[in-house]
Amino acid sequence: MVFEFRLPDIGEGVAEGEVVQWFVKEGDPIAEDAPLVSVLTDKANVEISSPKKGVIAKIHAQVGEKVKVGGMLVTIDPDPGGTAPSAKSPAPATSAAPAPPKGPPPPSATPPPPASGTPAAGRVVASPYLRRLANERGIDLSKVTGSGPGGRITEADLGAPAAGSSTPPPKAPSSSAPSGPGTSGALPPGADASTDVAERIPIRGLRRVIAEHMIEATHRTAPFTYVEEVDASELVILRDKMAKHVEKQGTRLSYLPFIVKGVVAGLKAHPRMNATMDDVRNELVVRSAYHIGIATAAPDGLIVPVVHHAEQKSLTEIAREIHDLADRGRQGKLTRAELTGSTFTITSLGALGGVLATPILNYPEVGILGVHKITRRPVYRADGSIGPADLMNLSVTLDHRILDGIEGAQFLATVKAYLEDPHQLFAEMR
């Protein structure tokens, strides 16, 4: 009897996961605790191991599909060498056996079903993505023959409906067809008359999570951005001096740990910014701890690992943690706890930080700081002289539903003061 393996509860508050990668295919043998599938939840890739030894009888969720907790992932045959022949093995030879009695053949002589299988009559086997795509193209899935396992419909199958279908694929209008207001020459949703399409890239996995999160942030918040210029000359000098000592401990010291400490100081002075919005209760939830998210580029898209309790950590500790989180994040090895719980986010492209950007809020947070590159430029001094200075821009995006412009300006003024006189940051250290 095959074993049905369903998506387990893989974290508090997780209701579903998206299949990112299967490490096996149907018919493959698998050992107990061997890697089975990678599932994405809340931006964390979770590698799930096989609970049983056996052979993969059927994969029920394709890459890109979302599966709810308790939903079917895979069936495993723990006894592929038993009395019933597997789908991958031929039926045993019977030429030397006596003629079977009349009537239904015994189970051992019943030919196994084909590995691909066929769906039950009237049942359409297709992912939500393909159902939506078919709907956009005006294709009736009940009249499409699936070429995937178990008769599952693949994207390639949507290139043309099954033979005999009364629903042809949508055709591009003729170049001579009339166009303009009042004409019916518009393409149906999802149709593409171009002949120079180089590639279609499915938006799935982390990229889809990012897209959904960005849309939610844009629709639920009223963002505005305030920008301030910072003279980072003293910060550059202090960082260069400290870097020599910190690097002896095996950690590279960038400007980011200083900015984290400056942000913590600003949040302490303006606590309404160290908060998340509870839109269900229409309440601003102000936090007493300072968990700073650090937006980090990873191969599959942007992730936000979190430096928890940044107010309790030294510059060296923050530097070490940022590098560790970034390295493991690029390898997809961060836990869900390391990617959640932030109260305020910092995003920086380092030397590629540009002049100005308007970061999108990491909803439900109400503030995010954009850090831009440090550039040496001439400035007027208070005594009227002109001299070089290391300048950078900081931009803070805030949720205007909750925070007014004056609060953003005051917060950034506090951060600016600490970074222009960075020795003050030592008062913020443990």
Pick the catalytic residue: 42, 231, 324, 400? 400
Distance CA 134, CA 67 (A): 20
Lookup result for tokens 């299988």:
117
219 is catalytic: no
* Radius of gyration from C-alpha coordinates of the chain: 29
CB 74 within 8 A of CB 59: yes
400 is catalytic: yes
Cβ count within 10 A of residue 10: 15
Pick the catalytic residue: 278, 404, 421, 423? 404
Token pair listed for 121: 């009559």
What is the 8-class DSSP label of residue 355? Answer: S
Check residue 151 and give left, alpha or beta (phi > 0: left; psi -120 to 50: alpha): left
Q: Which residues, in sequence order, are CB contacts of 82 under 8 Å at separation 6+?
A: none
DSSP track, 109-161: GSPPPPSS--PPTT-----HHHHHHHHHHT--GGG----SGGG---GGGGGSP
Residue among 290, 260, 259 at smallest CA distance from 274: 290
Cβ count within 10 A of residue 314: 15
Distance CA 214, CA 221 (A): 11
Token pair listed for 378: 């001439």
Per-position b or e across 196-228, b if 16+ CB within 10 A of its CB: eeeeeeeebbbebbbeebeeebeeebebeebbb
Distance CA 62, CA 65 (A): 6
User: 3-state DSSP call for residue 406?
Assistant: helix
Lookup result for tokens 């989180």:
325
Task: Name the residues annotated as catalytic.
Answer: 400, 404
